[in-house]
Structure 1
Amino acid sequence: MNHHEPQDKSMVELAAEALLDDEQILSDEANDVPPYLMAYEDKMPLYILSPSSAVADPSQFEVATARLQDFGFDVSLDPGAKGSFSRFAAIDTARAAAFSRAALSDAQVVLASRGGYGISRILHLIDWDLLAKHPKRYVGYSDFTAFNLALLAKTGLVSYTGPAAIPDFGGQAVDELTAELFVETMRDELEILCFEAAGSDAVDVRGVLWGGNLAMICSLIGTPYFPEIEEGILFIEDVSEHPYRIERMLCQLWQAGILAKQKAIILGQFSDYQLAAHDNGYDMDTVIQWLREVVGVPLVMGLPYGHGEVRVTLPIGQEVGLATQNDIAYLLLAEHHHAHDAKHDASLHSEDL
């Protein structure tokens, strides 16, 4: 298959081909060990920094480091990773300098220790030119959305939203699917992500994938750190935000003309909020119905991404394919070809989430 052929096929057709090939790959492995624990000949250098809130229990760094070593990474900690200053890991200039140290390190992956709050305060202090000269795979979520989008706006580089070192790898247990998807994405082994998407609109598009935490996205509108993405695929999530607050933030994106420029909107998890008696039936379903009526952009439901137990790793700023069929969504993360040797698919079902 030549590199131009996929342009003539739908996302579902490409997904079917990828799934057929990957079923053969997975069956050939015949290994009881979870894929993300398989031994890699090479250890991928990984650097942990703390650009946002402080980690309450520094001993969790040891747990996270040991686990990430098991997953095939050679882990190093930023000198300020375990620090604490007010509610932050360090003063603003020190947290910004951590990105420069990461850029100048030999790490291929730079992983945030946690989210919380603080990156918005340091965007103007980050040396974006240095980061552009020394590209890395930056990964984090929640507050890290500000960095993801700023990096895209200032340099055009792809980064990742996914797990964070402490909440995902430093606790008593690790979600296997979150870990597996993280490792395979960092190793360029994940080609397609499939997930249950009941209630989604019909869609078959290509576009630049971008997004993250909804509150952080909205906080950057009107700043030089907000990427101008047209005909993109926007994904969103949030936590502890009442549906009316979600709707208000979506109103801002809509009235700013941002939503209408997208080819599709993917809804992740909106969790940990409480409805009130005076809501009178107003809930997230109401918000989704309103969004469909006013925006006119296809909606895809059910992305296992947010502040829940399962957290997929997604590229921000990379062109992808997106399609839905029979209540399943297909997110094509890499161009498919029959000669690929190690690319997998991840099919996520309700029992996995």
Structure 2
Amino acid sequence: MTPCCDHASMDHSLLIFSPSGVLRDRAGLRRAVKHLKALGFEPQVDEAAQLRQQRFAGTDEERLAALHRVADSGAAVALAARGGYGMSRLLDRLDWERLAASVQRGTRWVGMSDLTALQLGLLAHARGCGVTWQGPLAVADFGRAAAEGGVDDITEACFVEAMHGELEAIGFRETGAPRGTQAFDGLEAEGLLWGGNLTMVCSLLGTPHWPRIKGGILFLEEVSEHPYRVERMLLQLAQAGVLTAQKAVLIGDCGGWKPAPHDGGYRLKDAIAAAQVATPTPILQGLPFGHTPATKVCLPVGAKAQLVVQGRDALLAWGHV
């Protein structure tokens, strides 16, 4: 990935599309367009982005056509308006060659949550076509109202750098090791970076859209799922041999859940600990990514990456691997 500092000569076109859930916050979409313009992009909204069919952003046919239309658009950035649910309905009908060709031409597909299925599907069907980006969503991030705190400064900066081809690494503080220890100090790992939403990752297991990646660096995040459900999904990945096949697993934000009266102190740290018992692959926590208004970095799905840990400080780099 070669840094590009001549922003004036770059293509700043950005197309916002809705591949999954219905867009409920139209004011947020308007704010997102305004904010992205202020950042120097030239945002346009796909013609079907505000459609509605039940809980979806249009019928399956309309959303499928929108994805293919975005692929053909030549936009520099294809940014999902929101996540939700709906990509799973389209996976068997997507023209993967068409999507891969758009990546090869330079379109940066960006999003998270339900878009995980599309991004990992590309790894399964067209690995080597280039990277897509797990990152912010148009409405949830750039459309956040000032009264809600607006978009996080680091989230914004990472997105701009990533879309300009300048983001080559991110750092974070590992938070999972027991207090007073540096369990992952000295860890070094190199492999294909992949992952996304934990539920969507698990949903692809056993399907033609599952990317069989060995020796990779897998990152995962989740929202509004009780820790026992997070543990269950992590154990599913462990029992399927997925976790042990990786060099490292990075856990992002898994918040938004409510404790139950009978938890007896059981928390997310206990869920992660149970998963760690099931695999020798190191599972690190603290990756600043997920369904959170706080910092959300951009991560290149399909890039060769290197992870280095010193003490509790972790560096994930892909620019010169």
TM-score normalised per structure 1: 0.82
Q: Deviations for 1:12-34, whole angstroms, at most 9, x for unmatched residues?
A: xxxxxxxxxxxxxxxxxxxxxxx
Higher mean alpha-carbon deviation, 214-223 vs 118-127, is at: 118-127
Q: Structure 1 counterpart of 2:196, which letter? A: G
Distance in 2 between the 1:41 and 1:129 partners? 29
Matched with 1:197 is 174
Deviation at 1:144?
1.0
Spell out the pairing of 1:113-124 with structure 2 (5 A cutoff).
113-124=81-92
Is this contact kept in 2: 1:201–1:299, CA < 8 A? no
1:184 to 161, 170, 173: 161
Partner of 1:14: none
Match of 2:202, as an amino acid? C
**Counterpart residue number, 1:164:** 137
Kept after mapping to 2: 8 A contact 1:48/1:110: yes
The aligned counterpart of 1:85 is 53
Task: Report percent identity of matched pairs.
Answer: 43
Quick one: which of 190, 193, 200 aligns to 1:209? 193
Q: CA deviation at 1:331?
A: 0.5
Secondary structure (helix, strand or coil) at the match of 2:276 reads helix
Tell me the secondary structure at the aligned position of residue 14 of structure 2.
strand
Match of residue 244, structure 1, among 225, 228, 239: 228
- The answer as to whether partners of 2:235 and 2:278 remain within 8 angstroms in 1 is no
Deviations 1:215-241 (A, max 9, x none): 110001000111000000011110111
Which letter maps to 2:21? Answer: S
Bigger Cα displacement from structure 2, 57-66 vs 209-218: 57-66
- Residue-by-residue CA offset, 1:323-349 (whole Å, 9 max, x unaligned): 11121000012017xxxxxxxxxxxxx
Greater mean alpha carbon deviation, residues 216-225 or residues 280-289: 280-289
1:290-342 Cα distance to aligned partner (Å, 9 max, x none):
22222011122200111112211101111100011121000012017xxxxxx
Answer yes or no: is the 8 Å Cα contact 2:11–2:76 preserved in 1: no
* CA drift at 1:125: 2.0
Q: Which runs of 5+ in 1 are unaligned?
A: 1-34, 337-353
Q: Which runs of 4+ in 1 moved over 6 A?
A: none
Written as runs of structure 1 = structure 2, the 5 A alignment for 1:90-101 is 90-101=58-69
- Number of aligned positions between the proteins: 300
Distance 1:147 1:132 in 2: 11
Distance 2:197 2:244 in 1: 19
1:314 aligns with 2:295: no
In the TM superposition, residue 41 of structure 1 has moved relative to its aligned partner by 5.0
The one-letter amino acid of 1:201's match is: F
Aligned residue among 143, 146, 150 for 2:117:
146
CA deviations 1:116-149 (Å, max 9, x no partner) are: 1111111122111112222221111111111111
Deviation, 1:70, is 1.6
- Work out the CA distance in 2 between the residues paired with 1:204 and 1:194: 14
Greater C-alpha Rg: 1
Partner of 2:13 in structure 1?
A: 45
Q: Is the 8 A contact 2:174 2:313 kept in 1?
A: yes
Q: What SS is found at the alignment partner of 1:96?
A: helix
Deviation at 1:71, TM superposition (A): 1.3
Aligned with 1:260: secondary structure?
A: coil
Are 2:218 and 2:246, in contact at CA under 8 Å, matched by a contact in 1? Answer: yes
Q: Give the counterpart letter for 1:257 in structure 2.
A: G
**Alignment-mate amino acid for residue 224 of structure 1:** P
Taking the aligned partners of 1:147 and 1:216, their CA distance within structure 2 comes to: 10
On the 8 A contact 2:184/2:312 being kept in 1, the answer is no
- Equivalent residue for 1:128, pick from 92, 96, 102: 96
**Aligned twin of 1:301:** 285
Distance 1:131 1:41 in 2: 25
1:42-78 Cα deviation digits (max 9, x unpaired):
4511111100111113233222112111212111211
Counterpart amino acid of residue 313 in structure 1: C
In the TM superposition, what whole-angstrom CA distance separates every residue of 1:254-281 from its partner, at most 9, and x where no partner exists?
A: 1111111000010111101122232222
Report how far residue 85 of structure 1 moved: 1.2
Q: CA RMSD in A?
A: 1.7
